[in-house]
A = this chain, B = another copy of it.
Amino acid sequence: MRLAKVVGTVVASRKEDVLDGMKFLVVRDCDFDGTESGSSVVAVDAVGAGLGEVVLYASGSSARLTQVTNNRPVDATIMAIVDLVQVGDEQRYTKDG
């Protein structure tokens, strides 16, 4: 899974039918402390993530193993909202700052 920050939303009214009702979020890979760094992808939200939250997303066929995305043409899904990232002995990120 990749650590990423939710930075935006994509709206797409014309799409494969089975995608109706899904929420497409723009997520950008981030460092351990939540600073945006890497590249961005568009992921379906399976856990009610909000703008600015640090999340984990799964890619590939694993992105289809949530209740929301099951058998859908989706290759990236947010499956967890991160509370804490600890590296070595140090807390690098906590959701409540």
Residues of A whose CB lies within 8 Å of any CB of B are 1-3, 7-16, 18-19, 24, 26, 32, 40-43, 46-48, 51, 56, 58-67, 69, 71-77, 79-88, 92
Q: How far is the CB of A13 from chain B (nearest CB, A)?
A: 5
Contact check, B65 vs A64: say whether CB atoms are below 8 A apart.
yes
Contact check, A26 vs B85: say whether CB atoms are below 8 A apart.
yes
User: In the complex the two chains form, what is the Cα distance from A50 to B56 in whole Å?
Assistant: 21
Contact of A8 among B47, B65, B76, B88 (CB under 8 A): B88
Contact check, A8 vs B26: say whether CB atoms are below 8 A apart.
no
Closest B residue, CB atoms, query A68 = B16
A80 touching B15 in the complex, CB below 8 Å, given contacts A32-B26, A60-B61, A63-B62 = yes
